[in-house]
Amino acid sequence: MSRLNFIHIICRIGIVVSLVLSAWLPCVAQEKTATLSGIVVDTEGKPIPGFTINLSPVFQMSEADENGAFMFTNVPPGPVQIMIPPQQFGENGKPSFNLEPDDELVSIKIGGVTLYQGRRPPFGGIRFAVKPGSHLKNIAFTVRPRMRIRARVVFKDQKPLTNASISQVIRGGGGSLSGGATTDSEGYFIHYLDNNNEPARYTVTVKYKGLSAKSEPFDIETGGRYDDLVLTLDGEAPPPATPTQSKQSKESLPNLLRKLTSGSTPPDKPTPTHTKRPAPTRVAVEQVQVEPRGTRTTTNRQMGRPSWEKEAWAVNPANGHAYKKIRCRSLKDAKNQAAAKSAYLVAINDEAEKKWLLGLFGNHLYWIGLSDAEKEGEWVWESGEPLIYTNWGAKHSFPRSTLSSEKKNNAVMTFVNGQWHAVGPGDLLWRMTKMAILEKDALPTNEAAESK
């Protein structure tokens, strides 16, 4: 390639880059970031200094100061989620295998609206949206320690079982839960109960390489912790590796690294030209231990759903209304739940609100607050808002109904682009719809949570 042609190509690339930047930069300039600030408190309202919270999806971390105050800056507009990050260190600052947060986020109070966490840790968080250039001030984050069992596993000679994978069975609260855990450098592991509903009696069983240990029954009060459990395995610690084994392990590591980096067999172990594939290993059925069927199945009462999982409201910044997705047995049940929460079945007033709801709650079958029960053919929102927007689906999008239009007095929002369909008792969608979206009115202006 001649030098002249090379310069010509570089110039063309520069022109393309300039055009892209000129189209993109105005959009960036128009996007005004927001600011969030407030205080982290415990359930008694006392500030918690040094507490760390995470803001997603921008993945910002903020550590509260000595007064419990925090601040997030340069927050892009749109949906955000507040979470408590997993703890990275155990007791006394030592590294820990615990990848879950040691505390839970109970609620966030923004002005006169209180939002509750709707999903249990470690993935639980509270979602809401911020307007471009807004400043949310005096946000109160209420947190509390999670219920837990902290146990130390030791051998019969009291040596701790360190940095090892174990199986565990936790029984209590009317049920049981089995799974795995990893002990830390001092033999400890933590199991979170996430049961803040009622006190219960528990037992813990662990197994490790044919050895086992089971605790005596112990009680944990509501919101409490049991951190002094010691589980003694019914056997001695295995002998340390022999020098020959250690030498062999050290000698094989460089060979393994060379193999991984070069993609070839180490030079001191050439690949044979002809190898015979070994026969598959057969494992005797008697060597496999299987937990009784149903031990991994829990109910709300067995291990307890946290009380905050029953409340999860999200605020739409476009209108200030609060929304919540619920499960229901029927349309009547959905309306009863709405009335109990001083809310109503959702009223969707434009395309933007529909997209916001689907983006937040997902595409499912939902009961919505639309009805023509009072006068056939005149659909109205039960909230009293005027019907200024419709999103009716095609009549034959779903199996044809045998009911007449006079008997289809209610509506559901479907999983097909949020389209609406009129339904009546006996229709397929009437029987299938087991969720609803609730809505609450906007706050008074003097209680608004943000000021520009």
Of residues 155 and 286, which shows the higher confidence score? 155
Q: What span, in angstroms and rounded, lies between the C-alpha atoms of 268 and 272?
A: 12
Average the pLDDT over each of 55-64, 131-140, 396-405 and give the range with the smallest value.
Answer: 396-405
In the predicted model, is pLDDT for residue 299 greater than 70?
no
Burial class (CB in 10 A: 0-12, 13-18, 19+), 436: buried
| Neighbour count for residue 218 (Cβ, 10 Å) | 14
Q: Which amino acid is at 299?
A: T
- Write out pLDDT tens, residues 164-199: 989 999 988 777 888 888 888 889 999 888 655 567
The per-residue pLDDT for 195 is: 57
In degrees rounded to 5, what are phi and psi of residue 446?
Answer: -75, -5
- Write out pLDDT tens, residues 410-433: 999 988 889 999 999 878 888 889
Contact by Cβ (8 Å): 85, 101: yes
In the predicted model, is pLDDT for residue 371 greater than 80?
yes
Q: Are strands 135-145 and 126-130 parallel, antiparallel or unpaired?
A: unpaired
Its pTM stands at 0.47
Contact by Cβ (8 Å): 64, 39: yes
> Half-sphere exposure of 73 toward its Cβ, with a 13 Å CA cutoff?
0
Contact by Cβ (8 Å): 255, 268: yes
Instruction: Please provide the size of the chain in residues.
Output: 452
**pLDDT confidence of 277, banded at 50, 70, 90?**
very low
Q: Which amino acid is at 422?
A: A
Calculate the alpha carbon distances from 37 to 62, 72, 109, 215, 251 in Å. Answer: 10, 6, 12, 45, 56
Average pLDDT, the chain: 74
- Write out pLDDT tens, residues 115-148: 876 655 555 678 888 888 888 889 998 988 888 8
Contact by Cβ (8 Å): 233, 208: yes
The structure tokens 């960036």 sit at: 28
Average the pLDDT over each of 68-77, 206-215, 360-369, 435-444 and give the range with the smallest value.
Answer: 435-444
The b-or-e profile of 5-21 (16+ CB within 10 A means b, else e) is eeeeeeeeeeeeeeeee
**pLDDT confidence of 242, banded at 50, 70, 90?**
low
How far is CA 216 from its chain centroid? 33
Average of per-residue pLDDT across 249-263: 46
| Neighbour count for residue 272 (Cβ, 10 Å) | 8
The H helix count followed by the E strand count for the chain is 5, 25
Assign 287 to helix, strand or coil: helix
**pLDDT confidence of 283, banded at 50, 70, 90?**
very low
Calculate the alpha carbon distances from 406 to 376, 394, 400 in Å. Answer: 6, 18, 15
Assign 336 to helix, strand or coil: helix
The per-residue pLDDT for 232 is: 95
The structure tokens 């912790």 sit at: 225
Q: What span, in angstroms and rounded, lies between the C-alpha atoms of 410 and 298?
A: 35
Ranges of beta strands (E only) in 272-419 are 314-315, 322-327, 344-345, 366-371, 380-381, 410-413
